[in-house]
Amino acid sequence: MSITIDIPADEIDAIKKLTHLESDSEAILRAAREYMRIIKLRELKFASGKVEFDAGSLNMANLELGETMFPQ
């Protein structure tokens, strides 16, 4: 999908410098993806401490790891 947006040249230049990309479209795409990643991280951070933790699951995982051939 394509979209046309007006972004001031100085802002595009700043985005290109931050992303280290020469192409306007690639730099804008990288900046948008990074923005979405940061928002998801903020949401995850906000959710931390609000998720109930089941210690039984951790014990089960430790038992399963003990049965593998991976070094501990």
pLDDT tens digits along 12-66: 999 999 999 999 999 999 999 999 999 999 888 887 777 666 666 667 666 666 6
Tell if the pTM clears 0.75, that is, is over it. Answer: no
In a domain, 24, yes or no: yes
Range of the domain at 35: 9-66
In a domain, 2, yes or no: no
In a domain, 19, yes or no: yes
In a domain, 1, yes or no: no
**Close Cβ partners of 28 (under 8 Å, ≥ 6 residues apart):** 7, 12, 15
**Close Cβ partners of 57 (under 8 Å, ≥ 6 residues apart):** none
In a domain, 57, yes or no: yes
